[in-house]
A = this chain, B = another copy of it.
Amino acid sequence: MQDKEITIYDLAERLNVSATTVSRGLQDHPAINKKTKKRIFDLAAELGYRSNKFASNLRKQKTNTIGVIVPRLNSLFMSSVLSGIEKIVNNAGYNLIISQSFEHESKEKTNTTTMFNSRVDGLIVSLASDTEDLSHFDTFIRKNIPIIFFDRVAESIQSTKVLIDNFKAGYKATEHLIQQGCKKILHITGNPSRNVYKDRFEGYKKALNDHHIEFDPALYISNDLTEQAIQDALVNDVLKRDTLPDGLFVTNDSSAAFALTIFKEAGLRIPEDIAIVGFNNDLISKVTEPAITTINYPGNEMGESIARILINHLDGEGDLSFTSTVLLNTELIVRGSSQRKK
């Protein structure tokens, strides 16, 4: 059929006006007569005109695109965050480019370069687990392209950060276990150079301390939280010890679920022998037997906050305090895996 793209020049010709007028009309420019605008819009619709973003971006030097780099998309949390971001961003007339680092610094670096070359107007990042060097963000900083970090943030980079109070969440989780009578609480967590893991760990230690339980380094395990890593840590180490822990606080729900499965296979009762608390309130935490006590925090809300802050900044309304930290609330959801007392 009509395979030819319609341009503003085509519209201009048919309407006997200039391309300038068409361009302005389509943008609802105040100087253009209402009737002319209507004629333009009508014809545009009729002919199936679509603006050429490349021409427009080239001229305007702005892409109206926001990049997002996350470790993985396969959790309820991430997909909620994304959904929140997308909602706000679309309403504001921006587009999203999403990519996954798959928890690797190298992939994160190439993704960042791609985003840079795509000239995103802003970048939203949650760091890969093993990212140490942050120099790939330098190009953005040098060009003053705003970056917002969320959840796994880069503490040394000056920019807005949106996250939960991981210290407090870690404290709450641990304190809950203590209140259920646990004395030897195992903590399994990720790379401690990531704020989320470090802060939860600090909260864990503080809770122990406040309840006069001495921190035992043997009860602190840090690994990459894959199924394999959890298996190794528990089967080859923890379960072979003379004294077993009586509580477990692990920083994500799928790991908590794996641990629960392993413990049950080893003949331990949950929560009587070992009480378990996870993190994130992922779907998986609800279907295990018993269901897993966890920390809930609203991904959707977080996504919306992130997007609003970024858009306000880009539209030049609120760059007052762009380098601030936003802390969102969390709550402990108590389920069977930890509840020993009514």
A binding-site residues for B, Cβ under 8 Å: 1-3, 48, 50-55, 57-58, 63, 72-76, 78-79, 82-83, 86, 90, 95-100, 102, 110, 114, 116-119, 139, 142-144, 254, 257-258, 260-261, 264, 283-284, 286-289, 291
Nearest-Cβ distance from residue A71 to partner chain B, whole angstroms: 11
Complex Cα distance A50/B260, Å?
A: 50
Complex Cα distance A100/B74, Å?
A: 13
Query: Which of B95, B102, B258 meets A287, CB within 8 Å?
Result: B258
Q: Assuming A58-B52, A95-B114, A97-B95, is B284 touching A261 (CB within 8 A)?
A: no
Nearest-Cβ distance from residue A212 to partner chain B, whole angstroms: 35
* CB atoms of A99 and B116 under 8 A apart: no
* CB atoms of B100 and A83 under 8 A apart: yes
Complex Cα distance A286/B50, Å?
A: 48
Complex Cα distance A266/B52, Å?
A: 59
* CB atoms of B54 and A58 under 8 A apart: yes
* CB-defined contacts of A54 to chain B, threshold 8 Å: 53-55, 57-58, 63, 119
Nearest-Cβ distance from residue A66 to partner chain B, whole angstroms: 12
Nearest-Cβ distance from residue A53 to partner chain B, whole angstroms: 7
* CB atoms of B95 and A118 under 8 A apart: yes
* CB-defined contacts of A288 to chain B, threshold 8 Å: 287-289
Instruction: Kindly report how many copies of this chain are found in the complex they form together.
Output: 2
Would you list 22 pairs from A and B whose C-beta atoms are within 8 A, ordered by A residue? A1-B142, A48-B139, A53-B117, A54-B54, A54-B55, A55-B58, A58-B58, A72-B79, A73-B73, A73-B79, A73-B82, A74-B74, A74-B76, A74-B78, A97-B98, A98-B99, A254-B283, A261-B291, A284-B284, A284-B287, A288-B288, A288-B289
* CB-defined contacts of A78 to chain B, threshold 8 Å: 73-74
* CB atoms of A117 and B257 under 8 A apart: no
Query: Which of B76, B96, B116, B254 meets A50, CB within 8 Å?
Result: B116
* CB atoms of B58 and A117 under 8 A apart: no
* CB-defined contacts of A286 to chain B, threshold 8 Å: 261
Nearest-Cβ distance from residue A55 to partner chain B, whole angstroms: 5
* CB-defined contacts of A53 to chain B, threshold 8 Å: 54, 117-119
* Known A53-B118, A73-B73, A254-B283; further 13 A-B contacts with Cβ < 8 A: A54-B55, A54-B58, A72-B79, A73-B78, A74-B74, A74-B76, A86-B100, A95-B97, A98-B98, A257-B283, A257-B287, A261-B289, A284-B287
* CB-defined contacts of A98 to chain B, threshold 8 Å: 97-99
Nearest-Cβ distance from residue A272 to partner chain B, whole angstroms: 16
Nearest-Cβ distance from residue A139 to partner chain B, whole angstroms: 8
Nearest-Cβ distance from residue A76 to partner chain B, whole angstroms: 5
Nearest-Cβ distance from residue A268 to partner chain B, whole angstroms: 13
Complex Cα distance A74/B114, Å?
A: 24
Complex Cα distance A48/B82, Å?
A: 32
* CB atoms of B86 and A99 under 8 A apart: yes
* CB-defined contacts of A110 to chain B, threshold 8 Å: 90
* CB-defined contacts of A1 to chain B, threshold 8 Å: 142
Complex Cα distance A289/B54, Å?
A: 54
The closest CB in chain B to the CB of A59 belongs to: B54
